Structure 1
Amino acid sequence: VHTVYLDFTRPPTVNSEHKQGDSNQQLPTDPGDNAKTADTCPELVLKVRIQSHKENDFIEVELDRQELSYQNLLQVSCYELGINPEQVEKIRKLPNTLLRKDKDILRLQDFQEVELILMKNGSSELAEYTPSLLEKPCYNSNAAKMTY
């Protein structure tokens, strides 16, 4: 007669190790795996909009990573937004970085926000507003006549 003692304080070890090993093989071991897939993706996805005080929605545009350049970003963004590239004065990576050359574009990462700053009547919006501020007095004329 054989006596079998069951120990319920420890989990069984024979089959669970084998199953555990199988499940570990299916799970990614490197948390950077997702980043690697993004880098090998043939397209760079950027969020692009036109600078506007009224509208702040972005659209997503895809650029071929093999053809990344300032000119390509400008052409694709303008096409997607329905504007003429000649209307664009500057391209800004939000919040505050001007993109000026191809190297700047090569450093962009997926889903970064880019804003096109348009010219108005052949000049920038800032230049358009500056003369109007100079033409109008920036103080209350009644207050200027008061004595202290």
Structure 2
Amino acid sequence: MAEPQQDMRDEPAGENKQGPNPPLPTDPGDDAKPNHTCLELVLKVRIQSPKENDFIEVELNRQELSYQNLLQVSCCELGINPDQVEKIRKLPNTLLRKDKDILRLRDLQEVELILMKTGSSQLIEYTPSLIEKPCYNSNAAKMTY
């Protein structure tokens, strides 16, 4: 039997057709950059304070995510003793209580450490929130129309 003749316009057999838009070559520098998003969870952490509202970013190994690990790494980065922390809050209003809560965190979520109140710092750091400030204006009550 004779082999079928190949049309000159067709590609030779055994070669893959790329189509009208062949894939672009990848940047060789891409392989050199470590992919931290897979290995580490990056969280924004701060201490609850009316004076300071800046966050720092902390990296946690995704293989070792736990409440204790978050507490230890955050306290080390912030320069505080873990025994001073009363609660950990995911902002705006969710308390983190156990390892399962930590496993649900996503990159760049904001976490706040709430420190235990002590007698002296309570008076110094206490600033009433907008809700606690009196809203009654006595001068307005005396006005006549």
Range into which the TM-score falls when normalised by the shorter chain:
0.5 to 0.7
In the TM superposition, what whole-angstrom CA distance separates every residue of 1:95-131 from its partner, at most 9, and x where no partner exists? 0000000000000000000000001228xx6xx97xx
Select which of 90, 97, 102 maps to 2:99. 102
In the TM superposition, what whole-angstrom CA distance separates every residue of 1:54-110 from its partner, at most 9, and x where no partner exists? 110000000000000000000000000000000000000000000000000000000
> Is structure 2 residue 18 aligned with structure 1 residue 21?
no
Select which of 55, 59, 71 maps to 2:56. 59
Q: Distance in 2 between matches of 1:108 and 1:20?
A: 43
Look up the match of 2:15. none
Deviant stretches of 4+, over 2 Å = none
Superposition pairs of residues 77-92 of structure 1, within 5 angstroms: 77-92=74-89
> Is structure 2 residue 100 aligned with structure 1 residue 114?
no
* SS at structure 2 position matched to 1:105: helix
Q: Distance in 1 between matches of 2:94 and 2:66?
A: 17
Look up the match of 1:70. 67
Question: Which stretches in structure 1 are left out of the alignment for 5+ residues?
Answer: 1-17, 28-36, 130-137, 139-148
Alignment length (residue pairs): 107
Letter in 1 for 2:103: L
Letter in 1 for 2:74: S
Letter in 2 for 1:75: Q
Structure with the larger helix share:
1
Shift of 1:20: 4.4
In the TM superposition, what whole-angstrom CA distance separates every residue of 1:13-46 from its partner, at most 9, and x where no partner exists? xxxxx684114x569xxxxxxxxx84xx111000
